[in-house]
């Protein structure tokens, strides 16, 4: 299995950048791969999906969120899993710390996970501790708590990606050591396997990933991929990250 490389564009981009970058990624053998996923703002998902279809691109499209409400209805501003899957979206980020910060509770996140799965969208569920949790040695309790909502899911869930993104590493240039990352990857794999025995779980790392540190992370056999924020917006840098992702294979 190739390692996953997920680009999280956050609230960035415009129509011409989306078209330009995704067209060139579709024509580049390094980026035109099914282990590469672009998580884009809602408004660009249709453009991305069109480019993907026109070029027969292998890469996948993700949203950065999904509504806690299903189907269609009077939910102004919401975008449901039904609508996302109609657009060709195959993945959705759920529970990024930047969304938890603006008020997403565990109940809401549990609903979002359930609806993603019901709509055949693979969730990329994010967990991560704050700097205080880390220095006060509370990080394991915090992370276990964030994992708990997964156990309410239907036992038939087949595919889930869990991203460990320490809040203190996001956009800061700070990164945990490989030993610190491995500790959490192991925790996730063991906990999830115990509670969702039928699920195929990929554990990925995110937080200040750049081309220069990609190889170090990917060489860990417990790291199945990376969630890349800032560095995914610079095409040249992102291609270097993907190139590394093609050469280091995952053992899971």
Known catalytic residues are 96, 165
User: Does residue 165 touch ligand PGA according to CB under 6 A?
Assistant: yes
In the complex, what is the shortest distance from the CB of residue 40 to ligand PGA, in angstroms, rounded to a whole number?
A: 13
For 16, 35, 96, 163, 166, the CA distances from 143, given in Å and listed in that order, are 39, 26, 13, 11, 10
How far apart are CB 53 and ligand PGA at their closest, in Å? Answer: 26
Which lies closer to ligand PGA via its Cβ, residue 129 or residue 165? 165
Rounded-to-integer distance, Cα 113 and Cα 154, Å: 10
Question: Interacting stretch for ligand PGA, rule CB under 6 A, among 62-70, 99-107, 163-171, 195-203?
Answer: 163-171
Please name the residue that has the structure tokens 């564009």.
9
Q: Please, which residue, 4 or 231, has the CB nearer to ligand PGA? A: 231
Q: Kindly state the number of chain residues that form the binding site for ligand PGA, as judged by CB under 6 A.
A: 13
Nearer to ligand PGA, 2 or 99 (CB): 99
Question: Can you give the chain as a three-state secondary structure string?
Answer: CECEEEEECCCCCCHHHHHHHHHHHHCCCCCCCCCEEEEECHHHHHHHHHHHHHHCCCCEEEECCCCCCCCCCCCCCCCCHHHHHHCCCCEEEECCHHHHCCCCCHHHHHHHHHHHHHCCCEEEEEECCCHHHHHCCCHHHHHHHHHHHHHHCCCCCCEEEEEECCHHHCCCCCCCCHHHHHHHHHHHHHHHHHHCCCCEEEEEEECCCCHHHHHHHHCCCCCCEEEECHHHHCHHHHHHHHHHHHHCECCC
* Least distance to ligand PGA, CB of residue 139, Å: 17
* 171 binding ligand PGA? (CB under 6 A): yes
- 8-47 mask for ligand PGA (x: CB under 6 A)? x---------------------------------------
By Cβ distance, which residue is nearest to ligand PGA?
229
Quick one: 35 or 175, whose CB is closer to ligand PGA?
175
Among 59, 229, 238, 241, binds ligand PGA (CB under 6 A): 229
Instruction: Give the one residue of 153, 228, 241, 242 binding ligand PGA; rule: CB under 6 A.
Output: 228
Question: Of 88 and 230, which has the nearer Cβ to ligand PGA?
Answer: 230
Evaluate whether 143 touches 184 at the Cβ level (below 8 Å): yes
Per CB under 6 A, 161 contacts ligand PGA: no
Q: Decide whether 159 or 213 has the Cβ nearer to ligand PGA.
A: 213
Residue ranges in 180-209 that form contacts with ligand PGA under rule CB under 6 A: 206-209
User: Can you give the binding site for ligand PGA, defined by CB under 6 A?
Assistant: 8, 165, 170-171, 206-209, 227-231
């Amino acid at each position: 299995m190739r390692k996953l490389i997920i680009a999280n564009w956050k609230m960035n981009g415009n129509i011409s950048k989306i078209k330009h970058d995704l067209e060139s990624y579709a024509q580049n053998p390094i980026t035109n791969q099914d282990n590469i996923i672009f998580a884009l703002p809602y408004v660009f998902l249709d453009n991305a999906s069109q480019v993907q279809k026109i070029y027969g691109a292998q890469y996948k499209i993700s949203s950065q969120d999904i509504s806690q409400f299903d189907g269609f209805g009077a939910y102004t501003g919401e975008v449901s899993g039904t609508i996302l899957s109609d657009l060709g979206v195959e993945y959705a980020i759920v529970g990024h710390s930047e969304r938890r910060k603006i008020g997403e509770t565990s109940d809401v996140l549990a609903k979002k996970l359930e609806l993603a799965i019901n709509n055949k969208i693979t969730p990329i569920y994010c967990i991560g501790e704050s700097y205080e949790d880390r220095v006060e040695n509370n990080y394991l309790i915090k992370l276990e708590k964030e994992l708990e909502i997964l156990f309410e899911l239907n036992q038939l869930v087949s595919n889930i990606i869990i991203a460990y993104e320490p809040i203190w590493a996001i956009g800061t240039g700070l990164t945990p050591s490989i030993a610190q990352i491995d500790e959490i990857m192991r925790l996730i794999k063991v906990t999830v396997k115990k509670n969702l025995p039928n699920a195929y779980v990929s554990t990925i790392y995110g937080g200040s990933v750049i081309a220069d540190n990609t190889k170090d992370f990917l060489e860990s056999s417990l790291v199945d991929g990376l969630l890349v924020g800032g560095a995914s917006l610079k095409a040249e840098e992102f291609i270097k990250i993907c190139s590394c992702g093609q050469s280091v294979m995952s053992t899971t």
